[in-house]
Structure 1
Amino acid sequence: MFIKQHLFDYQCYLNLLLAIVLTFIDSRNLFLLVSVIFVLGLNIFLNKTESFYECTVSVISLLSPILFMQILVNCVNFLNQQKVLSQTFLASVYLILLLMLYLLTVLKFFPSLKTPIFQLISIQGLLLPAILIKSIDLYGSTTLLLTLVQSKFFLALALLIVVPMILESWDLSNLNFKMSTRLLILIAMMLLLIWFAFFNSLANFGQNFSEILWEWKNNLTLYNFTLDRVNWAVEAALFEEIIRVLDIIVLLKLFSKQKFRIILTIFASAILFALPHSLYLRTGSPINYVVGEVIFTFIGGLMYACLYLYSGKIYLLMVVHFLVDFIVLAEPQLTAFNVGPLLTESTLGLVVRCLVELVPVLLLTIFTDHDKLEKNLNQLVNVDHVK
């Protein structure tokens, strides 16, 4: 309720402030400032009258996305011209604010629209920014993130997220547009984990954070994609993931009477996955390397356990594990001299890798339907018959 009633209002005031600043910088933004004042006035007027309520709401919904997005684009372009922030950082902030802009507008205004004509007017407000507003100017950068921003891919993605909310608020969810939240999260998780498989190998070659996270320059034609490396990766994926799932099922039974059995199972399975990696000490590996490997694999164990408990699909674990191991095993020795110092010559590398692996853990923790998860897990381990 707080989001619906207040955050859009704060967004209006923030955009007014930004429009004032932009107008001082460039007088051509004066029309933009006047338009924002007009929308803000409508929003204030909306709270004082019941007459023409839907009409006013539809006008605000039509104008606010394109005005606020134009302000956002102008601000990003100005900051980019000053060269005080990296383009990757600006692109990331732009995408987050873009999604918030759509969400706040939809959450506050769309549910109150009941008349089809006003609903149609508001819908066009979500489309106009894609047609009338140019992408942010990032000087032809070719990294994946910046390419997606300039292609307006995330604008379409934001639309994909808010449209199910709109349909549900208008009692039109029977159109079957909305995919299950569970499926959407799994798709997002798999995309994130595929990215992680490449990050896990290629990040070491980065000379700066942009090259670590996105701008991977290694030529994949140099990779040694041989049959023996495929065999090693498949062997590790099958063997370790089957053992992991067996551990998880037994741990669920072991902790079946405990209040926090899911958390205990996740941590215990991660420990069981990480401890065998301490045996690298027997091969003469430096102790600091072995400690880092144990910590890294423990965090990875949390990630794999959460993915399995959420999806119940062992093949998802096997696919991700295969990709991670295969890309590392096929890593070209020809480029070893280009290894960057950021992730290889300090504890920063371990910290960054662990934080990246914690992202899917947090996502699954936040978006999991715990009641449904408990029911599925009870069926998995047949808890009713556990004495």
Structure 2
Amino acid sequence: MTDSEHIDALKKVAPHLASRLSDERVRQVLSVTGTHKAQPVARLVRAATRDFEFDRLTLLNTDTAIKWATRNEGIRTWLDRKISTACNESAFENSAAALAEVRALGALLEAGFEVEPLSESRDPTPEFEVSAGGEKVRVEVHCKQMNGEEAERLAKFYASTSERPAKGNVNVTTHIAHPGGRPRQGENVGQNVAHKFASIKAGARQAEGPSILWLDLQDEDWWAIGRDYAHPLISAHDALMTGPLWAGLYGRRSTPILEGAFAERTTTGRPALRMGFPGLFQQSAGWSAAILAFPRDTLILENPDPSAGIPLSIAPELLSLPWVRFEHSWMQWPHQTNRSLRQRIAEAHRRLRGAASRSHVL
């Protein structure tokens, strides 16, 4: 497909994004050689002509966010600066982060918040201050990237060439990538994903007062992660596993990380792997809540013991976020205190321990 065809498709499918990009800028990002993944804006441009749901929804969410942002004259300069950063030809992590901030800002505006981008500096600071119902909350946006070693392995795989097959034959080469890091002895995939999301980026700090960590999960690195991973105990391929996103936020050092566990009538098999590190909320009371923003789902997970909780008065706006799934969220609302949330989390830990004690772990 030619660049012109990509440009025409983008203008039809995502007109608001297209309006912030010149045709020359689109051609420029399309010409960028990928690493373990495509240049993030180029990925969105190509999504206009592809049927891969993850990429198409991410494109539409980005376009909708830009629509909301352009309605606010005071935000347009900020938006253009972020779009320029997103078109970076080498530092893909900066490009992905800029797009994540655009999507977060647009979603907050759509939900009815007043949003003020905060001044940027070398010191880590929240991206936005949002207000509703007379309350103000700081929002910091993170866009987690694939483990560095795994990204390098995947890039080498894409760059490799296989031998030309004999006539009538087809060569198929596969590669298994682990975005959270390849498990070493005594580790498993779920534990490494949990650790990725339990980790606070170097130098990050939370503002005084209510503070939300917005985790954008629409980057290409995390296409295999979905809302089910934010449940404490799930079934996959006829086996039980600990939801790694839930563990990364609510887990404790002793939390069982089940993976390939089969229920038994009696205690059998080897002991389940334990997490070995505290979850994000155990590490820091500074985060009032985390918002997980998937392409088709938005989940709100509150800290059960924050230094400053989410004000109940902003619940209407939080529950108006695009794609919000209250049934998959972990919130104190509609209760006045966090007691019910603490009880719910404690019960989830009991279920995990019970499943670990009556499962056969492969």
Bigger share in helix: 1
Do they fold alike, i.e. is TM over 0.5? Answer: no
TM-score by length of 1: 0.29
**Higher normalized strand content (fraction of residues):** 2
